[in-house]
Structure 1
């Protein structure tokens, strides 16, 4: 990764770089310098995340943007583990924290959000991933194993629902993307896919992550509290969408 002179000054000459950290995916590097910890991302997703973090600031707790020099994004360390790493033994407690966090995000006025995460945008991206051979069917959830990426995409096109219940959706809302500092106020991370979308796009991933635990799901819904009815077909549809992203 090539850094501009400005970013080299920000990170310091004694910077120690590591890809060995919680949630390491190859797109974020942990940098320690001068007693501080930073996370550095680069590429198109980093640019997309920078725009969304700037917009989210003051609306939802997110990491501080230390610097951005396209396409490199430097974030301050929040100093907290994710809910995935520090998940409570009781899935119900995990569901409640996820519910409170998602409630705050989904309560953000849609009219204020400049980012589009609706199906035309998402399905275009999914189709490009399929055509580019970027989808590994071996990584599909157990109930989708045996399907090809092409078959999944055909199902998504054939069953495409209306989008009547729009919110500001995270797009990848999982325990790994929620940090819980000692203050107890969750911090949302990894937001390059954030945009206006049907709320079931996020609900579907929470439902999957709670692994069929009905009590935990009910605690999530009680904490979330913004929806009177959850559409089971939409939960399944948006889980299929996630397989291709």
Structure 2
């Protein structure tokens, strides 16, 4: 792990508390450059919370999608470590907060992500893999306890949800998926170029996973009208059952 502290040197580490994952993110500067140190506890090594998995996804995406540059990775018995260079621009969440138009940016973000070829993609983020991950997290007491089943009144417990997800897993139409395509993980530069961060869940998955996340983001944080416009502009009919499945799958993460 020694290259990590050597690279950071005497730079001041500042905690970045955006996001809800168990990973710890700290920012620091070297000269005029901004970097991020991201760590994940070793217990998450075989999950999509693993920062080494995220580093591998971003390295594979280099040249295919604008993602952070991976500078260093390391691991020890307690943690996995990754240093990345900051991407330019601002997150779409800042545009949403300032009532700026974001629908077209979300549409372009989805287009770019799903245009990544998957013929040689080594990362499986499909429903079966994510359900195995959920079984592991549930079995080790690692699920997000701040869950809300109010939208699905027939579900009362995490075990109810897990059983329902196993019973309702869809036939998949695989594309490359970001896995958490929301307004805090999409950055737009001054030149209107899009950059993508937080790619730990990236990999081959059903196309409706990212569609579901964008639709939920628009519905909850922009307006129901924008969410309807997003669906209406897709090049295919809506599949509400798949959107529901992926929203439910995300609830315990």
Could you say whether these structures have the same fold, taking a TM-score greater than 0.5 normalized by the shorter chain as the test?
yes
Distance 1:75 1:178, change over 3 A: same
Aligned to 2:226: 216
2:164 equivalent among 155, 165, 177: 155
Distance 1:30 1:239, change over 3 A: same
Aligned to 1:7: 4
User: How far 1:170 sits from its partner (Å)?
Assistant: 0.9
Q: Which runs of 5+ in 2 are unaligned?
A: none
Q: CA RMSD in A?
A: 2.3
Aligned to 1:111: 119
1:51 equivalent among 48, 56, 61: 56
In 1, Cα distance between equivalents of 2:65 and 2:13:
29
CA contact (8 A) 2:209 2:246 kept: yes
2:96 equivalent among 84, 87, 101: 87
CA contact (8 A) 2:89 2:190 kept: yes
> Which residues in structure 2 correspond to 1:55-70 (within 5 Å)?
55-70=60-75
Q: Describe the superposition over 1:56-91 as per-residue Cα deviations: whole angstroms up to 9, x where unpaired.
A: 111111111122234321111124321113326557
CA contact (8 A) 2:149 2:156 kept: no
Q: Which runs of 5+ in 1 are unaligned?
A: none
User: How far 1:137 sits from its partner (Å)?
Assistant: 4.7
Aligned to 1:35: 32
In 1, Cα distance between equivalents of 2:147 and 2:123:
28
In 2, Cα distance between equivalents of 1:87 and 1:193:
24
CA contact (8 A) 1:137 1:149 kept: no
Structure 2-normalised TM-score? 0.84
CA contact (8 A) 1:99 1:222 kept: no
Distance 1:238 1:204, change over 3 A: same
Q: Describe the superposition over 1:32-53 as per-residue Cα deviations: whole angstroms up to 9, x where unpaired.
A: 2333221011233110011001
Greater share of residues in helix: 1
In 1, Cα distance between equivalents of 2:149 and 2:90:
25
CA contact (8 A) 2:187 2:194 kept: yes
In 2, Cα distance between equivalents of 1:32 and 1:147:
46
- Equivalent position SS for 1:29: strand
1:17 equivalent among 5, 13, 16: 13
User: How far 1:185 sits from its partner (Å)?
Assistant: 0.7
Matched, 1:189 2:197: yes
Runs of 4+ in structure 1 over 6 Å off:
none
User: How far 1:118 sits from its partner (Å)?
Assistant: 1.0
